[in-house]
Structures are given as structure tokens and as C-alpha cells.
Chain A
């Protein structure tokens, strides 16, 4: 049996005396879409950051496709290029055009021939609906367009999986749909995705599984339908009540 794409075993992580992750065990299989939900400060971003080595974890194990994530090992570059990340605030390079943002990694990190990378970059931007914005700078794009460029930038790395950290939380409500649409199409094509999100509609429709995280512990996990419509744990019930019916 081939190893899971992402495997976390009893992962712990503290900032100072504050233990943020208290033994996280979870996995994401090849081609699976898993949504990670939970209240603010529960450690969702920290989990993603431990997976691609942006953050070091203290205890337990993180494996990517069978390789241990170790920030001090030379394998970390390979892991980072194979685990693409999409951020809440896009983090596009403001001094580069949409296309330049997309081809930056392939050309300068993966050392692909520029012509090849550029051709693929154009295709990817077309694919997220931005063929007309290839030469636009981030400041000239809307939030939704910026996030779609960021997704194209992630795809350009030809990753094994994409980690999304609240990709629609910084967007005006009318722009959320266009980004979720792109993510949905990726899921349909079999991309492995781990998505931190507050978009329960998206989770219900697209996710294979949902994990509910609270105070550094995965309190409940299950199929999207199960967990979202009939949560068993009182904390999950309480959280969903608040997200689905705010105020």
C-alpha cells in the first residue's frame, strides 16, 4: 500500500508555553479533498505550516508521500515545491505581473526552461479565467483575481497537493464564488487538497472528509455530510451553530 499523501502522527507544537497543537493525528490520501474547520486560534494555520515546513513542529511526525518533513534536511525544498500553499491574503509578489508570479517558482526554483514554464503559466492563468490579465500587476487586480493568480502560481509548481489557508476569508462576498469555482474544478480533476475554510457550503459539496479542530485537538472527523449535518460532539455542534447562523 502506498503511503498517504499527507500523514500527521501525534504532532505537537508550542509557542513558548502555549501549546497550540496537542497531538494531531490525521491523514490526507491521494486525490482526497479534506476540509479543516474550527474556531479562530484553534491551530488550523499552524497545522498547514507544519506540513510544508514553514513552521517546525516539536513532537510527533509529519510525512509527505512517505518523506519526513524536516526543516533542517535538504529534502525540505522538494517538500515545499510539492506542497503548494495558497494564503488568505494572497501574498502575490507585488513587483511582478500575474504571469511573472506564476512562473517565478518553475523558472527560478525548479530551473525549468523559461519558454516551457511561460507557456504553461499562460495556460494556467487561462484556466483560472485570467487570460486577459497576464500582464497585470497585483495592484491592478481584484481580490478574487489575485487569489486565482495565487492558485495558478500554486499549480505551476505541479504540486502533489495544495494547502489552502482560508483562501476566501479576505474576499468581498461577491468575489468568493469565483475562487470556490476554481477550487471545485481542481477537486474534480483529482487534485489532493487540504483546505482550511469557513465556507461550509463548499465543504459540504466538495470535501470528502471534514476535520473539526478545537484548541489544538481534532475533536471530530468524518465525511462532510455526516459531520456537517449530524455532528456528534457538542463542541462541533456549538461551532457549526455559530458559523451557520452568525450573531
Chain B
């Protein structure tokens, strides 16, 4: 135990460096995937056939390719087309784009769950599509969207470790670097796991709260 504490104190600064990148990758790709996902979802429900078609194609393509392969593509293949990204940029972009497919499906399900009578009421007072989305549909859809959104956040936090495969020195990569040079596997990976938990447990609690607040059975 004493050894553990001593080693932990020694490794912690490096691991916290990694944690910083984990948070950067997670937050960046979360933001990007949410924005892109909303765009795909709005295209899907726009009622304009070709827009919906494009969005469906994009979403299915993204869902059909492993995230890892998408990351490799961005980081190793795009430079051949003249798009040179740092590892961090590629990670945020790659995870953000890959996850936009899941975000989109969640947003769309939420939007489509809004009672059709709401749409008629909005149209009958002369609202156009944009105003109706903003004032009537999305504020109601968000209650359906939020609980699964919390779960996506947790998955993204964990999947940010995939950035390690394209050399982003986030928590998992820092851990394995330390482990391979010190052979203190147990200490290092215990610390890595605890650091992930320290971020995901609050998120899980937050999702639980969202589900209680907005989940089934609540009136408004």
C-alpha cells in the first residue's frame, strides 16, 4: 500500500496531463457531434426528400464504419489529400463526426416523438418551419432527448481513449507509456481506471437525475 501511494504520487502528474487531453477530446468531439447531429436530424425531418436522403446516407455510412477506422482515415489518409491535421485535431474531428450519427438518431427520435397536434397548432397560428422547430418542437423534444444524450456523453468519454491510437497522449496512452517503462501495471491501470471513474460516475449520476426529471411519467 505504501508503495502504491508513493508510485501514485510519482505517476499522477503525467496521468493528469493525459486527463487534460481526455477532457479536451471528449468536450471537443461532444460539441461537434451535437452540432452535426442536430444538422443531420433537422435534415431528416425537414420534409424535403433530397435533404433527408443525404442525411440518411451520411448517418448510415458513419454508423457502418468502425470509429477506429474513421480516425485512421482522418489522420493517416487525409494528408495525402493535402489535409494535414494534428493528432488532437484529428481525434476531435474524427470522434465528433463518427458520433454525430448516434447523436442524430437520438435527436430525430426525440423530434418525431413530439405529438403531431403540436405541429398542427404551430402551423395553424402561421408559424413557418424554423420558428415551429425553435419555439414548439425542440423545447418539447429535448425532454425526450436528454436522458439518452447523457448516455452518449459517457460513451464518448470512454471512447476518447481511441484517440490514443493516433498518438494523442490522453489518459490511456499516458498510462500505457508509464506502464511499459516502469512495469508497474497494476498501480498505473488502477489509477487510470479511477481517473475515468472520477469523471464518469458524476456523469452517470447526472443521467440518473435527468431520467428521473424528464423520463416517463412526468407531466411536463
Binding site for B on A (CB under 8 A): 52, 54, 77-78, 80-81, 83-85, 87, 89, 91-95, 104-105, 108-110, 137, 139, 153, 157
Are A54 and B120 interface neighbours, CB within 8 A? yes
The distance in angstroms between the C-alpha atoms of A52 and B115, with both chains bound, is 20
Q: Which listed residue, A81, A92, A94, A137, touches B126 by the CB 8 Å rule?
A: A81
Binding site for A on B (CB under 8 A): 115, 117-118, 120-121, 123-128, 131, 135-136, 139-140, 219-220
Are A80 and B220 interface neighbours, CB within 8 A? no
Closest to B124 in A: A85
Contacts of A95 in B (CB 8 A): 139-140, 220
Are A109 and B125 interface neighbours, CB within 8 A? yes
Are A104 and B219 interface neighbours, CB within 8 A? no
Could you name 13 residue pairs across A and B whose Cβ atoms are closer than 8 Å? A77-B126, A78-B126, A81-B125, A87-B120, A91-B115, A91-B117, A92-B121, A94-B219, A104-B125, A108-B127, A109-B131, A139-B220, A157-B126
Are B117 and A80 interface neighbours, CB within 8 A? no
The distance in angstroms between the C-alpha atoms of A52 and B219, with both chains bound, is 31
The distance in angstroms between the C-alpha atoms of A89 and B117, with both chains bound, is 8
Are A93 and B125 interface neighbours, CB within 8 A? no
Given the contacts A81-B126, A109-B127, A139-B219, A104 and B135 also touching, CB distance less than 8 Å: yes
Given the contacts A105-B125, A108-B127, A94 and B120 also touching, CB distance less than 8 Å: no
Nearest CB in chain B: distance from A200 CB, A: 26
Are B124 and A108 interface neighbours, CB within 8 A? no
Are B140 and A80 interface neighbours, CB within 8 A? no
Contacts of B220 in A (CB 8 A): 94-95, 137, 139
Contacts of A93 in B (CB 8 A): 118, 121, 136, 140
The distance in angstroms between the C-alpha atoms of A66 and B133, with both chains bound, is 31
Q: 8 closest A-B pairs (Cβ-Cβ)?
A: A105-B125, A91-B121, A81-B126, A91-B117, A85-B124, A80-B126, A139-B219, A109-B126
Contacts of A81 in B (CB 8 A): 125-126
Contacts of A153 in B (CB 8 A): 125
The distance in angstroms between the C-alpha atoms of A95 and B120, with both chains bound, is 16
The distance in angstroms between the C-alpha atoms of A153 and B124, with both chains bound, is 11
Closest to B143 in A: A95
Are A52 and B140 interface neighbours, CB within 8 A? no
Are A108 and B131 interface neighbours, CB within 8 A? yes
The distance in angstroms between the C-alpha atoms of A189 and B115, with both chains bound, is 34
Closest to A55 in B: B120
Q: Which listed residue, B125, B135, B140, touches A84 by the CB 8 Å rule?
A: B125
